[in-house]
Structure 1
Amino acid sequence: MILGVALVRPSPVLVAVRDGAPEWPVSRVAARAAARACVAVDLGDVPTAAVAAIRVGGPCPEALRPRVGSGTATIVRGGHSLTGRVLAPLDTEAVRRFAATCGLSDFAVTATGSPMLADHELAVAAIIAAEVPQARITLSYEFGHPGLREREEATIRNAALGPEAGRIADEAARELPGVPVFFARSGGGLVSAHYFRRYPLACDLGGTASLARGRVALPGVPGEVAAAYGAAIGRPEAQVERIVQARGRAELDRVLQDARDEALTRVVSAGALPGSARIAETTVNPLSYLPDGLYRVRVTAEGAMP
């Protein structure tokens, strides 16, 4: 039996799925006997943590600084162009000083040009980890958006959601001891609890996506039931988005294969059986407003449940 869970107020709605057929309500005893649990939740209204944001790049007007709400932010020298050229050496001392004195443990790091070359973000992460051993660090290159502000805001939100995602995952583990727990992605599919803790932004609208899927399969049932069912019928899925540079078809094929390999690795991390992982979709779009040979690549991988 697969358990679908819609995390709604005042209490979760549970739906058991056997051979594709839904049953509800579900007792706690029956829920704890599930082969796996698939959770649908929207994170739009959950509490968020204060974030320490580090932007690696050039100076900017006050209005264009990182937006962190109750958190704090700094801009340090460094970054790359989208062709991989170093714009300035990374100011490691400024990073170290900020990490040591900001008083926060949730960090969001965004470097100019990191979708092409993430070296400065990785270097910043290493400094933070040395200064704040308990830090949770989100790096913007993992989100792939070419625009700095869009990527930075996604990175900050992922970092802000991290503690609450951890609490939700912990609560699910306590309520369903021994049951593997998965969470619905905003774009469809499921991810493991471990992946959800690391990339909660991927599940920001997981409840909404599950509701849409469930309503197609079960028209006329209550929305919470449809959302729980929609989560239960999902399968592990992960996506990689990158900006790549390739001069010629052979080089493009090579970087595409690298992106596909990363997507396959991610979907296994998201909970898929390793032997079942496959590429579901690959999209390649040239960035016509930038130098020739730059492409935006998006690869989606999926796999079977354990």
Structure 2
Amino acid sequence: MRLGVDVGRVTTVGVLVGPGGRTVARAVVDSVPGLGALPGDRTGEVDAVGLTTDFVRRPSRLRPVAALRIAPPSHPSLGPLAGWPARVAHEVGPLRAVVPGGSALTGRQLAPLDRAAVADFARRAADDGVTAFSVTAAGALTRPAPELAAAEVIAEAVPGAEITLSHELGRSGLRERENTAALNAALRPWAARMSDTAERALRVGGLRAPLHLARNTGGLVSAAHFRHYPVLAIASTTANAVRGAALAAGADRAVVVDAGAAELRCASVTDGEVERSDVGPGLGGVDLDLARIRADVLPRADLLRTGAEQVADLVARVRRRAPGGVLLAVGGDCGLVPVRAQDPAAAIAAAAYGAARSEIVAEVDQVAVAGSRAELDRLLGLAGDQALARVVAAGAAPSTARVAFAAHTPVSYLPEGVHRLRVRAVGSPSEVPA
């Protein structure tokens, strides 16, 4: 069996799910330190736990980060972390530097890495008491070697430094990938506290099953993986609620309204997957280079002014993207949405149910240069192997790991032979903590 847990600001919901997706038990408790929502007395039968929450629902301060860019010089308005909202920028701090190095997206080296400049920046950061680093190199998705070399220099200059490398998280956009890496480095203490608190609560409740955290776009990663890459799982609740509602209804195609206290969010599910988007700001208004779910939003204040017509318009916009999808509503205020009769308890527990039903997911998104179709197939195969290795590292049982999606797209603004490779691997959660 699987246990899904949805940690909110006010309440925590737990759902125990048996074979075939059958709900065995539910529990709703106040959200207090220690979580506390363990439904039923069958904890010894639980094989894995999936937890979903949003950073904004369990807020914490970001820690200072030393952000290093490896690239040619740019105008200060395009420098590292430029354009961040003032509050977030203040928490992350002013330590930023650009050193020569990096590559073009075709893999051509732009300049040798200035290792001395990297070491000098690392020592300056340490002198200021900062030991969290993000490293972002131009062209790192084609040629990650400069980031790996810089990490070696930082680790030697600052023993115990925590380093996030952008090529492990982001995609081709330099500034957005840099933002993603810096935010990941800043979130690690929050991730450690969140996962440690959850694991302690599970042990107090008699559970020995491994903990997994829900990703922003659906799927799970192990608690250990989450501690290293928290930016992948900072806003997972709506994705899990939307997918959980569709799974509970047995619908491969659905339009789901997540009715929360502050806003209504409407998203679609097609072939069991929540619709994605690559645009829009992420946490704190920072532009991130991460996929996210595509959701149309209606603030609660607008709903109070205009009533049901706004809800109908919200649903109609999303239905145009998923024609024929069954309309469902989840969340504490799902009664505001005019849909067919459904179980209110199941609607409130949709996010926890979605987390319980999720698999481990890992993705590879990189740029490759191939002179022939045979070379492209070889590189796509290597990307698939990398995705399989990542999904196992993220907590999947090796025997269950498989490639669920693989695609390549020519990069139109670059010379012929440059392709974007995207691979997604999935697997069942391991019963042994990763």
Q: Structure 1 length as normaliser, TM-score?
A: 0.94
How far the C-alpha of 1:31 sits from its partner, in A, is 7.4
Gaps of at least 5 residues in structure 2 are 28-36, 249-341
Is 1:12–2:12 an aligned residue pair? Answer: yes
2:114 equivalent in structure 1: 91
State the shift of 1:184 in Å.
Answer: 1.0
**2:235 corresponding residue in structure 1:** 205
1:60 deviates by 1.4
Q: 2:401 aligns with which of 261, 267, 277?
A: 277
Match status 1:221 vs 2:222:
no
Read off the aligned partner of 2:71 and give its amino acid letter. Answer: G
**Structure 1 residue aligned with 2:172, among 143, 146, 150?**
146
* Aligned 1:60-139 pairs, distance under 5 A: 60-67=74-81, 69-70=89-90, 71=93, 72-102=95-125, 103-139=129-165
| C-alpha displacement of 1:134 | 2.0
1:43 aligns with 2:44: no
1:59 paired residue among 66, 69, 73 = 73
Give the 3 Å change call, closer, same or farther, for CA 63–2 of structure 1 in structure 2. same
Aligned to 1:176, what secondary structure does the other structure show? helix
Q: In the alignment, is the contact (CA less than 8 A) between 1:183 and 1:203 conserved in 2?
A: yes
Shift of 1:173: 1.4
Query: Is the CA contact 2:17–2:356 (under 8 Å) kept in the aligned structure 1?
Result: yes
Alignment partners' CA distance in 1, 2:119 and 2:344? 54
Please report the RMSD computed on the Cα atoms of aligned residues, expressed in angstroms: 1.8
Distance 1:59 1:32, change over 3 A: same
Q: Which moved more, 1:193-202 or 1:24-33?
A: 24-33
1:24 aligns to what? 26
Q: 1:76 to 1:11 in 2, by over 3 A?
A: same
SS of the residue 1:188 aligns to: coil
How far the C-alpha of 1:231 sits from its partner, in A, is 0.2
Q: Does the 8 A contact of 1:4 with 1:15 survive in 2?
A: yes
1:262 corresponds to which residue? 386
* C-alpha contact (below 8 Å) 2:26/2:39 kept by paired residues: no
- Residue range with higher mean Cα deviation, 206-215 or 11-20: 11-20
Q: Deviations over 1:95-122 (max 9, x none)?
A: 1111112131221110111111011100
Q: How far apart are the structure 2 equivalents of 1:151 and 1:173? A: 31
Once the 2 structures are TM-superposed, how far is the Cα of residue 303 of structure 1 from its aligned partner? 1.2
CA distance, structure 2, for counterparts of residue 129 and residue 29 of structure 1? 47
Segment of structure 1 superposing worse, 65-74 or 168-177: 65-74
Identity percentage of aligned residues = 43
Report which stretch shifted further, 90-99 or 18-27.
18-27
CA shift at 1:204, angstroms? 2.4
CA-to-aligned-CA distance 1:118-140 (integer Å, 9 cap, x gap): 11100111111112222221111
- Deviation of 1:215 after TM superposition, in Å, equals 2.0
Partner amino acid, structure 1, of 2:14 = L
Q: TM-score, normalised by structure 2?
A: 0.67
The reply on whether 1:292 has 2:292 as its aligned counterpart is no
1:155 CA displacement: 1.2
Higher deviation after alignment, 30-39 or 239-248: 30-39
**How far has the Cα of 1:18 moved from its partner?**
2.1
Deviation (angstroms), 1:28: 7.1
Cα distance, 1:238 vs structure 2: 0.7
Question: Kindly tell me: are residues 224 and 202 of structure 1, through their superposed partners in 2, closer, same or farther at Cα, counting changes over 3 Å?
Answer: farther
Per-residue deviation, residues 199-239 of structure 1 (Å, max 9, x unmatched): 11221222121111122234543555111111000011110
Worse overlay, 15-24 or 159-168: 15-24
Counterpart of 1:300, as a letter, is: R
- In structure 1, the partner of 2:220 is 190
SS at match of 1:212: helix
**Alpha-carbon distance in 1 for matches of 2:136, 2:39:** 43
How big is each residue's C-alpha offset from its partner over 1:5-52, in whole Å with a ceiling of 9 and x where there is no partner? Answer: 101123422111123222212547847533221101122463222211
User: Which AA in structure 2 matches 1:160?
Assistant: A
In 2, the alpha carbon distance for the partners of 1:77 and 1:138 equals: 19
Between the two proteins, the alignment pairs up a number of residues equal to 306
